[in-house]
Structure 1
Amino acid sequence: MTITEQPFRGWSPEAVVFDCDGTLMDTEEHWQEARRRAFREFGLRPAPGFAERAKGVHYLDCGRMMAEEVDKPHLAPELTESLLGHFMERVADDPVTMPGAAEFVQSLSGRLPLAVASNCPLTVVERSLERAGLLSHFGHIVVPSDPRTTGATTGNPDGGTLIRPKPWPDVYAIAARLCGAQSERTLAVEDSLTGIESARRAGLRVVGVGDRPADGGEETVDLWVPALDSPELVDLDWVRLR
């Protein structure tokens, strides 16, 4: 579906599911710095453009990408561990919300079921949202299963069922179901093409937020806005009813 002049005409969501990194929390710079520190820790340097290619990628996949980027696939476990460690240090030191994110969430809270669907570990999502004062607004947080463990995690509401990371549709499909809404009546809010693909594959409608992708991928969303306080979004009928 392409962007239209009047998005969501005659449509309003029964639930809203947010991505976390880059959508609610300003953490992309933290991931970039964590990747830089992990590479430096091993005396490695990626090719230009790696940061953009890694945006929105699950951290386990990112660790593998980092190892493959420097032609050292055997270092994937160590680079993954280093990446996550450096990122969590940065999040603890500097939890910052994206422009308009807190106000937009608060305007919907109590009127619609809200959830988070993230590729980050559950502890990172919860810690970030709690420090930002937003955690209490969300009824559900869904993250991918950790394939390194055999049991269920607290981010896996389907018990032992494997929840695959974005761009697979799992996190968004499960979040919508937990909110008690049909996928086609659920709105996803995303900043990355990886996340947008995940939400679309799950059958959700999508608002893209942030800088427009250079390759024109914004055409896959219903509406693209520069920030969550943009008039194109906050002036929609179902948002203004607060």
Structure 2
Amino acid sequence: MATHAHPLLGWSSEAVVLDCDGTLMDSERHWQVARNRAFREFGLTPPPGFADRAKGVYYADCGRLMAEETHKPELADDLARCLLEHFLSLVADDPATMPGAVEFVRLLAGRLPLAVASNCPREVVEESLSRAGLLRHFAHVVVPTQVPGSSVLRAAPDGSDPAVPGAVRPKPWPDVYATAARLCGTEPERALAVEDSLTGIEAARRAGLRVLGVGPRPSQEDASRADLWVSALHSPELLAWARQQGPRQADTPTT
């Protein structure tokens, strides 16, 4: 695909909001291993195609999905807890960035406000990005926070969804992206989301951001849900776009 002629690459953004898992950090493989370990721990067999359906899904919702698709709804909370424990162990042992992530973030840092919008727990996102040397480039990290024992979601320390006072719901709800754009000081329509999952793309589109899809290209129907799809963040056309965005300034410390 000839990305150099794409309208998105002629557009000036006022902020960039990036997903973490599978976009900045190579941690989607850890989620897959963690899901398989959790299934095995409870003597369950992963349903066919489950990995695709689970990609980008908030871990508590993934636990419910695991329980529902194996006809064990009573195990939803236990599976979610087990899933998260295995994932935390894996990502602590092997944090790695996605191809081009470091170069892309460092190139944009100081040119535009940067934020992370993730379905992962805050400690996972911040620890992973810190170990990769990227955390300092982001002014905000926005994640959903679930009140224990309740389906009601409470705001992360950064802010809350303007449509649901006091709540930031996980993707595919738009909350993390709407909140991140606002914290960056712009309207969602003036911000760019960078995502690898269809769940995240749906969240960003619902929030009103333009969307760059990154990674292996899905079907044409799914790829069309993003404004543009590139194979990696070090795409020459994408790096050229980044160099055109605003003046460089001192990096903003993360809050």
* Superposition TM-score tier, normalisation by shorter sequence: over 0.9
Q: Distance in 2 between matches of 1:211 and 1:221?
A: 13
Q: Distance in 1 between matches of 2:26 and 2:153?
A: 31
SS of the counterpart of 2:216? Answer: coil
Compared CA separation, residues 53 and 85, structure 1 to 2 (3 A): same
SS of the counterpart of 1:25? Answer: coil
Kindly indicate whether the alpha-carbon contact (under 8 Å) linking 1:117 and 1:141 is maintained by their aligned counterparts in 2. Answer: yes
**Residue 215 of structure 2 corresponds to which residue in structure 1?**
210
**Residue 131 of structure 1 corresponds to which residue in structure 2?**
131
Compared CA separation, residues 163 and 174, structure 1 to 2 (3 A): same
Deviations 1:15-43 (A, max 9, x none): 00000000000001100000000011111
Report the more deviating stretch, 193-202 or 147-156.
147-156
- Structure 2: 5+ residue stretches without partners: 249-255
Compared CA separation, residues 224 and 204, structure 1 to 2 (3 A): same
Counterpart AA for 1:158:
S
Deviations 1:58-83 (A, max 9, x none): 00100000011110000011100000
Deviations 1:149-208 (A, max 9, x none): 689565452397111111111100000000001111100000011101111111101110
Q: CA deviation at 1:235?
A: 2.1
**Residue 231 of structure 2 corresponds to which residue in structure 1?**
226
* Percent identity of equivalent pairs: 64
**Residue 119 of structure 2 corresponds to which residue in structure 1?**
119
SS of the counterpart of 1:8? Answer: helix
**Residue 180 of structure 1 corresponds to which residue in structure 2?**
185
Q: CA deviation at 1:216?
A: 2.4
Compared CA separation, residues 209 and 119, structure 1 to 2 (3 A): same
**Residue 68 of structure 1 corresponds to which residue in structure 2?**
68
With the length of structure 2 as denominator, give the TM-score of the two structures: 0.88
Q: Distance in 2 between matches of 1:193 and 1:215?
A: 12
Q: 4+ residue stretches of structure 1 with deviation over 6 A?
A: none
Deviations 1:119-140 (A, max 9, x none): 1111111111111111111000
**Residue 251 of structure 2 corresponds to which residue in structure 1?**
none
1:157 matched to 2:147: no
**Residue 5 of structure 1 corresponds to which residue in structure 2?**
5
Compared CA separation, residues 151 and 76, structure 1 to 2 (3 A): closer
- Structure 1: 5+ residue stretches without partners: none
Report the more deviating stretch, 41-50 or 98-107.
41-50
